[in-house]
Structure 1
Amino acid sequence: MTIAPDDAQRDARLYQVMREFVSSMDDTLPGKFEITKEGIVHDMMSPAKPHELTVLRVRRLLERVLPDGLVAHTGTPDVELAPEGIMRHPDVMVIAEADMEGEGSFDPCTLFAAVEVVSRSNPDNDWVGKTRDYPLLGIPVYAVLDPRTGSGAVFSDIHSTPAGPRYATRKEFVYGEDIAIGDWTIPTADLPRYP
């Protein structure tokens, strides 16, 4: 008699293998690894100066308007939902400081918002993959800033679709406009563009 694992067991094992691979590569190869429903995403390029400057400025802008107890975090660990087989690393996470305590990855349900600065080397990761994965993770607000075009969008209002949870609202903006990320409004006038 043969006992074959069901799809959920197979998916859980595959995710564990990918998770172990990503952990083993963290300090070995340059770039950033994330796990999506499609597999491992490897952004091989080190972030450009305009990317990192944008992350820094957005973090500072958010911290000026966030209430006590909430922070705009730009470091590690990742945001992970193992049952869905997803591990992502937002450029900026709005999270309660108390939810950062303990070991392991952040629970995505504790995030108030995620902000991504589009990578020059892999823009689809931010515009397509994360637009799909973040509502699945339950992240209520997702802001995308694109230094390639000087524009972006804020996604919100998660709703169910036949393809899974998706954002129902997309508010586009151009650099120079103020944008609302959840309950907090920040300017975008001084954000750098890619040359």
Structure 2
Amino acid sequence: MSIGPSTFARLRRIAEHLPELPGVGKVEIAHGGIVLTLPPVRRHELAVARIARQLHLQLPKTHPGFLARAGADLQDAGLGRLRRPDLMVFAEAAPESEPPAVLPHEVLLVVEIVSRSNPENDYHDKVADYAAMGIPHYLLVDPRDGTGIVHSQPNYRSRTPFAFGDRIIVGPWTIDTGDLLTYG
């Protein structure tokens, strides 16, 4: 469901103030409303850090001037979406411009670590959103069962499943999933 620009702008203004509430993790806009998530658990954050570390080692060779960063907003006003992926690869200069959120055409990769509370969001809604935004690669990591999927454009028709312990290819990068942990 897409929403009009004025509705998106109003929701965006509201969303900017919600992280101040105790117990709120991510604040996103999707399906015409604001979506709040719980703060992530330790193993979730550990997976983000370990994947980011591997990407940081490879980015100077594959994409100088790009970084892997957690906690940045991804905005597509045309789709009426504000997402906050667990990790994104984008040009270091991207956040210097307006709007403050990263725009889809600036992003090479999004990474989501599946949460226990709402896995459907990562497996369905975000697959559709990131594909519609034209983001080349979407790495979905599922610590619930130690698996994942590498999605690649066009429209994420290319889907490569993996299990923790595999070395996977995500675009020009190689990720060793051997040090990722299940929720247990």
Query: What is the TM-score of this pair, normalised by structure 2?
Result: 0.90
Where 2:180 maps in the other structure, the secondary structure is: coil
Of 27, 30, 53 in structure 2, the residue corresponding to residue 33 of structure 1 is 27
The match for 1:182 is: 171
Per-residue deviation at 1:38? Answer: 4.7
Matched, 1:142 2:135: no
Where 1:66 maps in the other structure, the secondary structure is: helix
Matched, 1:85 2:80: yes
The match for 1:60 is: 53
The match for 2:181 is: 192
The match for 1:128 is: 124
The match for 1:3 is: none
The match for 1:4 is: none
Structure with greater Cα Rg: 1
Q: Root-mean-square deviation (CA), in Å?
A: 1.6
Where 1:26 maps in the other structure, the secondary structure is: helix
* Contact 2:135–2:153 (8 Å) recurs in 1: no
CA distance in 2 between counterparts of 1:19 and 1:96 reads: 23
Moved more, 101-110 or 176-185: 101-110
Q: Structure 1: which 5+ runs fail to align?
A: 1-7, 159-165
Of 87, 90, 94 in structure 1, the residue corresponding to residue 89 of structure 2 is 94
Per-residue deviation at 1:42? Answer: 1.4
Q: Deviations over 1:115-150 (max 9, x none)?
A: 111111111111111101001111110000000010
Residue type of the alignment partner of 1:184: W
